[in-house]
Each structure stands twice: as C-alpha cells, then as structure tokens.
Chain A
Amino acid sequence: MISETFAFGDSPIHRMDPRLRVAMAIFFSIVTAVSNRFPAVCLALFMACGLLGLARLPLRPVLNRLFLVNGLVFFIWLVMPWTYQGTPLFTLGPLVIAEEGVRLCALITIKSNAIILALIALTATMPVATLGHALHHLRVPGKLVHLLLMTYRYIFVIETEYQQLMRAARIRCFKPGTNLHTYKTFAYLVGMLFVRAAARGERVHQAMICRGFNGKFICLHDFSFRQTDRAWAAAMGIGLIGLGVLEWTPII
C-alpha cells in the first residue's frame, strides 16, 4: 500500500543535493502558487515537465499519481464553469457556461499540475529519511524532524499490523458492506491499532532510553554541495526569475 515509488534511481535529479532539491521545490511551489497569468503558469508547467524528464521517472506511475491527486480540480471543473457569473461562452441546455469560469478552471488546473509534477520530480525522488535530514539542515525544528522520522519509521510496521488484523477479520468471513456491522468492525480495528501503537510507543521509548537517548535529535548525515549543484541552483534561479518576469511585467 505505502511505497516510495520514485525515491530510488540514477538521474541528475537523484544525484542533486537533497537540501537544494527541497529548497527548489519550496521556491518553485510558492512562485507558481501566487502566479495568476497564463504565460507564467504555462512556463511553470514547462519547467516542471523538464524537471520530470531530468528525473527519468517511469511515465505510467506518474500519470496514475496525477489522475489520483486531481480530485479537487475535477470537482471544481464540475461546479465552477456553470455557476460563474460572466460572459457566456456557450449554452448547454439550461446551463450557461461562462468564459471566465472556464479560464479560472484552466488556470487552476495548470498551476496545480505544475506544482505536483515539480513536487514529484524534486521531493519524491528521495527517501523520507533523507528528506528529514535535509529539513534538519534547513533549520526545521529538531522536534518536528524527529517526529517526522519516527512516524516514517513506524508507518510500515503499523501498516503490516493493520493488514494482519484485516486478514484475521477476513478469515472470520468479514465482508465489508454498507452496514453498521462493517463500521463497528473498522472502528474496533482502528481502535486496536491505536492501542497497539501506544503500547509500542512506550516500548520504543524505553528501548531508546536504554541506549542513552536524552531527547536530543542528533543528525550524523552530512550533505555535500557540489559544483553541479551550484549550476542547478543557478538554472533554477533563472527559471524563477523568468516566471516572475512573465507574471509581473506586461511582456506578453
């Protein structure tokens, strides 16, 4: 169920300094998110596709991912065009499709997908453990990084526990349906997950104390910022300036 589909690979992006990748993802997301003009967001989408190409990720899983995360965008397309009060583009029976509504939907779709693609190319291409260390180096509070790494460490364990409970239920002929019995079963199952997680958390904490844990998060991981990283940073900087120029100056 949970897997890091894109985390491992050999590409210019995978070799890039993780701190740089995180910083690039943050700046790119912010600049794209505040853009509101078509030339700017189209360039953003183009840049994101370029990054994705550089990361050499398999196309099919990426498209699957895009389809899944566009839920809210589909929902907006479903409602916005015919509820927007604007100049009518065409009429569909009793519904009037407004031009501005369609434009806004298209803008949101391009923006959203540009950011998602960049996020896949830049942050999904590293294991979460590396992301945690990178965040630590980028001055995110130690406690928060520690919490992130502990959560990441145990999602796989708890997931196995969930599947075990689910298997036990299936062996007892549990068939999910729309009824109170199903909801009760899932509630007890989730409750059991919490009980086990709490007990496990206590044991983990005791084991950590035995090994001299004093509440401080120590990061031994060191990253190196190489010449190529400098070049990537410069290229990204130029790209972001380009986005800014397209958004805030009337060139196009």
Chain B
Amino acid sequence: MHISEGVLSAPVLAGGAAFAVAATAVGLKKLTSDRIPQAGVLSAAFFVASLVHVPIGPSSMHLILNGIVGLLLGWAAFPVIAVALVLQAVLFQFGGITSLGVNTLIMAAPAVLCYYLFTPFIRKGHATAMAGAFACGALAVLFSALIAAAALVFTGEAFMEVSMALVGAHVVVMIIEGIITMFCVAFLRKVDPSLLPGFIVRRRGKQAGHAGVNQK
C-alpha cells in the first residue's frame, strides 16, 4: 500500500515525515549496532516476502505482512520498513522521496501497534495464539488502510470517496493477510519460537532471543 508521489499536500507530507523520522530514531536507538546484521537479513526476508504474489480468484495480490514484521521486530520495524521502502523506491519506483515519511508511517505504525496489542496472545495456548495472530495480520492491514485514507482526506475533501474505496478494496486483503499471518505464526511457534516475542528459548549457548531484535 503505497501513496504515490505528487498526490498528497505539503502539510501532510511534512507531518508524516516528521512523525516517521521521530519513530525511526526511536527504532534505531532500540536496535543496538551489533544487531544490525541480523535485522538486515530479516529485513531482506521481509522485502522478498512482500514480492510474493498469492492468488485471489482470477487476480493476485502481493503480501504486506506488516503484522508479522511488528511481532518479530517491535520498534525496529520503523527503520526496517523505511529501508525497505527506500529500496522499493530505488529498484521499482514504488513510492518516492517526498512520500517516504507518510508511507513509512502507513506501514510501520500498525506494525508497532500490533506488536504491543498481540504479543500477550502469541505466547498463550494454541487457539488463543491463532486468534491473536489472525487479528494481528488483519488489523495491521486495516490500520494501514485507515492511515492511508486519513492522509488522503487531510490532503483534500475531494479524496473522501477515493479513500473510502481504498479501505473497501483492502477488506479481502485483510482476510488473506490474517490467514497467512495465522499460519505463519503457527509455523514459527513450532519451528523457531525464539523468533516470536515472549518466547525465551536458549539456543546454542547464545543469549535468549538471538534474532528477536525487540529483546533489547
């Protein structure tokens, strides 16, 4: 979900950029420099995962996965998503420089919100965790669509219908993101729970949560 260059008004762009810079600074502070290589490789995995196209009916959609990004990275989601958006802008011209702040906010703010909302569910029993994971994936997309819609409406009243249509168009995406997030969390709980927040698993003598960048 990107807002293209040249659509939003100057105040919205400036506000989004200020917000994104502040939150990215917080994320970078929490991301100690010896965790950057791990965060970088995980960030690459998210970048590739967001290029995966899953079919819906005759069409297809690409994954967003900002719910899982939030669960796995916490506040580090801000710098990681900002970097992914820079790469998308340079490699594919999706988004650009002036809308980078707003687009970071659209993708990363729901990620951090979902991290706080759903971490307690993920470590509970199977059924609770699955329900939490589904809600995490679906709500992250819903929040993203709502922030994007808000950015459009603050630009001009004329965008009211466009933004409502935008949120409407993401209902199916929400459901599929929820399903994928649910299965993905189920998989991670079985295969490598130390990636998920709230699971303390010692692994090869290293300190707990080797890749859970959110641990520190």
Contact = CB atoms under 8 A, between A and B. Distances in A.
A30 interface: yes
Contacts of A184: 183
A123 B90 contact: yes
Contacts, number: 260
Contacts of A158: 41, 44-45, 47-48
Contacts of B90: 123-124, 128, 131
Interface string B113-151: 000000000000000000000000000000000000000
A80 B158 contact: yes
Given A69-B94, A75-B165, A191-B191, A144 B48 contact: no
B184 interface: yes
Contact of B10 (A33, A65, A192, A209): A33
Contacts of B98: 29-30, 33, 115
A204 B210 CA distance: 12
Nearest to A125: B90
A72 B3 contact: yes
A201 to B, nearest CB: 3
A154 interface: yes
Contact of B40 (A1, A80, A114, A154): A154
B203 to A, nearest CB: 9
Interface of A: 1-4, 25-26, 29-30, 32-34, 65, 68-73, 75-76, 79-80, 83-84, 100-101, 104, 108, 110-116, 119-120, 123-124, 128, 131, 141, 143-144, 146-155, 157-159, 162, 176-178, 180, 182-184, 186-202, 204-205, 208-209, 215-216
Given A114-B6, A147-B80, A187-B186, 17 more contacts: A69-B94, A80-B162, A83-B162, A120-B93, A146-B33, A146-B40, A147-B31, A162-B49, A176-B55, A180-B179, A182-B54, A186-B52, A187-B184, A192-B191, A198-B42, A201-B211, A205-B37
